[in-house]
């Protein structure tokens, strides 16, 4: 009863609408599920593996090859659901849709509570409605059947718990078990999507170094050092050379630079209270630290290369890294000085501070990172001994694609906009917020920066104006902005999101997808809420205007719900599709043109593998295949390897198989006998034709 009493009327309405609309979708015609809702092939990788695990076949998509090409937490959620697939393949999809709806609801309610508590009620309603019913967020996060719902929930849960922690640590002693609990919650976020490991690590810095400038400056510094070193290499080469030759060495040098620069900044006084000494002294000390650490970084990496342990690296990039680091770190210190408390603060010398606080930092760090690091290490060890590799093979394959320069699949970053996560398609990490900027770009097209070919220039001009407005607004409201940044853990979320983007754009990753950018969506939702709150704050002092703002927000919510319902009603009809209609026409075609118990290869094949009867689909691109298959694909012997496993038929586009990463290795073993939808059914021969 106490839980029910804590639910606000708006929250109850939100719960009823989200669950009600999704229940309607969950009871729709069976044909609508694979064709209108769970349409991404990648989701069925989870579904089929989960089904096989529930049947006791192990972590395998095809029942032949073991695989770890997925994020573990979502797989754990899927396993009990897909025990139901034995009797009806659509039933678990109905159940999963409702499970996602519950996760969706919980995430929206937490966003509402966070914004209401730390900003305002009207903005909280707007943020919750936007997150709940925005079409792009729904179609990208909640409609695919992928790990994105639990990832979004976990990130918001971490922020929700950090907001409580922020309130408590100023008033009472925090026991070590609280740090361990936060470590467990951060680990949940990490296992929901393994690339959220950066956010999890920075959360530890945020809570352990509370009460010192380290908690603000260190996460931002880490992100800046990643930008600096990788950008320096890119400036010395070009994107094609970087992706095919220098990406691995740039990452190696970046890791070394991050460690050395952080240590240098600490011991040179770069993490002392910024108002304790004149700002020019702070800039002098940080500049000296950057200079010394850059020299050490260059020297250490050159020594590693001479020892035969490092990779090829443009040495002049170290000089560029020095200059970029100086500019970025100096700018961060000036900004931090502007927002810091003007009261004089006594600063301990670095060694004295370390001597007085190392026991506290160590015990709290062990409590937090012992859980995060321990669970990650356990996962990596288990994965290594079970699957032959400590990380998901899917990520390794996509970075292999990116190193080729030209593949049949998605390319890595090829320009600076994409490198910073502001490119197009998969590398546009700011959606759905950038959608409004693209619309504004069309509006100003006849007046400013004219020309159809100047759309990027107009986009970045408008983006620059928005960023300036945001910076000026928070600068004019320093106290409230700092309170919000602290309460909503904006700093670790922002730094983690930046490093997360670079972990794809600066590592020659050749298959990024739009659903990767969960933390960025949450960050921009919270930042937009802050901006809107600050802009509306002068008007909210009048209670009548405040009521009007809440009313307008509710009307917006009603409109958003109406549009959302129209989409649900259209996409998930009842009684429209005949019950006996095949779930997928391509499945029927393959079943009619192959024999029962035949093993069939496909590039992709997730949804076909899930729905096909009495046949086995083997994934040929390797994303949901074994680590061993990854190696034979690299070696060019995949055709004989698959034939030895019993594969006799391939359903694919032969032109795709002629391109990297396949390099035509299947061509001598293929003989076409039927075609459908731009793909061929081909015999996989035991011996090559030529």
DSSP-assigned letter for residue 509: -
Residue 115, token pair as written in the block: 């914004």
Please answer whether residues 571 and 25 qualify as being in contact, where contact means their C-beta atoms are separated by less than 8 angstroms: yes
CA-wise closest residue to 164 among 492, 482, 487, 480: 487
Residue 649, token pair as written in the block: 């038929």
Please answer whether residues 626 and 645 qualify as being in contact, where contact means their C-beta atoms are separated by less than 8 angstroms: no
pLDDT at 292: 95
- Angstrom distance (rounded) from CA 77 to CA 74: 5
pLDDT at 83: 95
DSSP labels, 570-602: HHS-SSSS-TTS-S-HHHHHHHHTS-TT-EEEE
Question: What does the radius of gyration of the chain's CA atoms come to, in whole angstroms?
Answer: 27
SS3 (DSSP) at 279: helix
* CA dihedral for 624, 629, 634, 640, sign (positive or negative): negative
SS (H, E, C) 530-550: HHHHHHHCCHHHCHHHHHHHH
Strand 599-602 versus strand 616-619 pairing type: parallel
SS3 (DSSP) at 647: strand
SS3 (DSSP) at 175: coil
Distant-in-sequence, close-in-space partners of 379: CB < 8 Å, separation ≥ 6: 72, 191
Bond before 138 cis per omega within 30 degrees: no
pLDDT at 455: 87
- Angstrom distance (rounded) from CA 187 to CA 375: 7
pLDDT at 343: 62
SS (H, E, C) 289-336: HHHHHHHHHHHHHHHHHHCCCCCCCCCCHHHHHHHHHHHHHHHHHHHH
pLDDT at 5: 54
- The 10s digit of each residue's pLDDT in 365-378 is 999 999 999 999 99
CA-to-CA dists, residue 325 to 180, 309, 317, 467, 571, angstroms: 34, 26, 12, 22, 50
Judging by beta carbons within 10 Å of its beta carbon (0-12, 13-18, 19+), is residue 127 exposed, middle or buried? buried
- Angstrom distance (rounded) from CA 646 to CA 119: 61
- The enclosing H or E element of 441 equals helix 433-444
- Angstrom distance (rounded) from CA 236 to CA 238: 7
Determine how many CB atoms are found less than 10 A away from the CB of residue 667.
16
- Angstrom distance (rounded) from CA 261 to CA 221: 9
> Phi and psi for 579 in degrees, rounded to 5?
-60, -30
- Angstrom distance (rounded) from CA 604 to CA 238: 32
Please answer whether residues 126 and 556 qualify as being in contact, where contact means their C-beta atoms are separated by less than 8 angstroms: yes
pLDDT at 3: 44
CA-wise closest residue to 507 among 252, 223, 313: 252
- Strand partners for 679: 676
**Global pTM exceeds 0.85:** yes
Please answer whether residues 98 and 22 qualify as being in contact, where contact means their C-beta atoms are separated by less than 8 angstroms: yes
Strand 599-602 versus strand 647-652 pairing type: parallel
- Which regions of the chain are under pLDDT 50? 1-3
CA-to-CA dists, residue 1 to 6, 16, 108, 322, angstroms: 9, 18, 22, 60
Residue 306, token pair as written in the block: 């001479």
Strand 616-619 versus strand 670-676 pairing type: unpaired
Determine how many CB atoms are found less than 10 A away from the CB of residue 86.
12
Bond before 432 cis per omega within 30 degrees: yes
Phi-psi region of 129 (alpha: psi -120 to 50; beta: other; left: phi over 0): alpha
DSSP labels, 14-33: HHHHHHHHHHHHHTS-TTHI
> Phi and psi for 489 in degrees, rounded to 5?
50, 45
């Amino acid at each position: 009863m106490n839980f029910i009493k804590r639910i606000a009327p708006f929250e109850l309405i939100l719960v009823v609408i989200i669950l009600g609309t999704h229940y309607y979708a969950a009871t729709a015609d069976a044909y609508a599920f694979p064709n209108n809702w769970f349409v991404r092939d990648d989701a069925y990788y989870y579904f089929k593996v989960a089904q096989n695990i529930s049947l006791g076949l192990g972590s395998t998509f095809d029942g032949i090859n073991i695989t770890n090409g997925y994020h573990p937490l979502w797989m754990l959620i899927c396993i009990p659901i897909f025990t139901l697939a034995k009797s009806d393949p659509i039933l678990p999809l109905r159940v999963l849709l409702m499970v996602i709806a519950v996760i969706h609801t919980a995430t929206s309610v937490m966003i509402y509570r966070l914004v209401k508590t730390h900003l305002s009620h009207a903005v909280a309603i707007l943020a919750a409605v936007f997150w709940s019913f925005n079409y792009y967020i729904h179609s990208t996060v909640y409609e695919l059947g992928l790990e994105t719902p639990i990832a979004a929930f976990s990130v918001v849960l971490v922020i929700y718990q950090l907001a409580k922690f922020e309130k408590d640590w100023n008033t009472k002693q925090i026991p070590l078990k609280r740090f361990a609990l936060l470590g467990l919650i951060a680990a949940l976020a990490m296992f929901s999507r393994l690339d959220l490991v950066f956010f999890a690590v920075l959360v530890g810095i945020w809570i352990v170094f509370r009460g010192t400038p380290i908690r603000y400056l260190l996460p931002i510094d880490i992100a800046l050092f990643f930008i600096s070193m990788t950008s320096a290499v890119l400036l010395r080469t070009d994107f094609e050379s970087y992706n095919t030759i220098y990406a691995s060495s740039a990452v190696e040098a970046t890791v070394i630079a991050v460690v050395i620069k952080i240590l240098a900044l600490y011991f040179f006084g770069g993490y002392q209270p910024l108002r304790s000494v004149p700002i020019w002294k702070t800039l002098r000390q940080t500049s000296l630290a950057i200079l010394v650490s850059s020299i050490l970084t260059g020297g250490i990496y050159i020594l590693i290369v001479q020892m035969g342990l490092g990779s090829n690296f443009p040495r002049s990039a170290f000089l560029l890294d020095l200059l970029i680091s100086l500019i970025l770190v100096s700018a961060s210190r000036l900004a931090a000085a502007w927002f810091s408390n003007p009261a004089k603060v006594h600063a301990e010398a670095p060694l004295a501070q370390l001597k007085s606080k190392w026991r506290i930092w160590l015990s709290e760090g062990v409590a937090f990172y012992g859980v995060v690091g321990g669970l990650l290490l356990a996962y990596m060890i288990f994965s290594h001994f079970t699957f032959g590799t400590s990380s998901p093979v899917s990520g390794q394959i996509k970075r292999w694609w990116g190193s080729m320069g030209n593949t049949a699949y998605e390319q890595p970053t090829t320009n600076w906009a994409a490198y910073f996560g502001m490119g197009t398609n998969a590398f546009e990490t700011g959606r759905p917020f950038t959608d409004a900027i693209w619309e504004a770009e069309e509006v100003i097209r006849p007046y400013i920066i004219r020309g159809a070919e100047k759309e990027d220039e107009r986009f970045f001009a408008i983006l620059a104006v928005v960023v300036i407005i945001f910076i000026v607004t928070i600068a004019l409201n320093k106290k409230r902005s700092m309170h919000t940044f602290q309460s909503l853990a904006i700093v670790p979320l922002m730094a983690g999101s930046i490093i997360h983007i670079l972990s794809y754009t600066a590592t020659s990753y050749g298959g990024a997808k739009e659903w990767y950018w969960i933390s960025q969506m949450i960050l921009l939702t919270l930042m937009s809420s802050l901006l809107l709150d600050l802009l509306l704050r002068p008007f909210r002092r009048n209670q009548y205007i405040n009521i009007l703002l809440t009313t307008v927000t509710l009307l917006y919510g009603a409109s958003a719900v109406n549009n959302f319902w129209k989409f649900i009603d259209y996409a998930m009809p009842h009684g429209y599709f005949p019950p006996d209609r095949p779930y997928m026409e391509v499945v029927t075609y393959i079943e009619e043109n192959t024999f029962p118990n035949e093993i069939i290869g496909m590039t992709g094949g997730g949804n076909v593998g899930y729905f096909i009867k009495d046949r086995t689909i083997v994934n040929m691109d390797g994303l949901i295949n074994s680590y061993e298959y990854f190696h034979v694909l690299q070696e060019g012997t995949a055709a004989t390897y698959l034939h030895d496993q019993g594969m006799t038929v391939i359903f694919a586009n032969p032109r795709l198989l002629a391109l990297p990463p396949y390099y035509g290795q299947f061509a001598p073993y293929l003989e076409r006998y039927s075609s459908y939808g731009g793909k061929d059914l081909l015999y996989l021969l035991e011996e090559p034709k030529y």
